[in-house]
Structure 1
């Protein structure tokens, strides 16, 4: 199965330089960024079959990932 990765740089390529800058200079952004990628990694492991879990838990992770992405996007657009 081909699992789609959701790295922030891939999802928002127009903000690549700004993402790097904020990761280095904004603790809040950096924490959200790390949380986003940690959840994305967990989703990928589940979808790859490395870890087993309920569908409800997987969906909750996906919703958390989307909420974090929305927060990160808002910061990127407004900074």
Structure 2
């Protein structure tokens, strides 16, 4: 996810607890969805779709944080 922000993600995961919680929740949802789709864990199609929507919202929030930090750091140069 967001390979162009790899360094910034690493930095934020060490310095920003809110970002880390969102990032970890996104990854947890990703694994949960994959397990449901692969029939490793039980889940209906509706549950999978709901989790995908939640995951997308988290991704949008993470991207907004990344953009904000990128703009702040480019404004300081």
State the TM-score, normalizing by the size of structure 2. Answer: 0.86
Rounded to whole Å, the distance in 1 between the matches of 2:44 and 2:13 is 33
Rounded to whole Å, the distance in 2 between the matches of 1:27 and 1:41 is 21
Rounded to whole Å, the distance in 1 between the matches of 2:42 and 2:12 is 34
1:69 matched residue in structure 2? 59
The answer to whether residue 9 in structure 2 is matched with residue 14 in structure 1 is no
* Superposition CA RMSD, Å: 0.7
Uncovered stretches (5+) of structure 2, i.e. residues with no partner: 70-77
Residue number among 39, 42, 53 corresponding to 2:29 in the alignment:
39
Rounded to whole Å, the distance in 1 between the matches of 2:13 and 2:58 is 14
Structure 1 runs (4+) deviating above 2 angstroms are none
Please identify which structure carries the higher helix content: 2
Uncovered stretches (5+) of structure 1, i.e. residues with no partner: 1-7
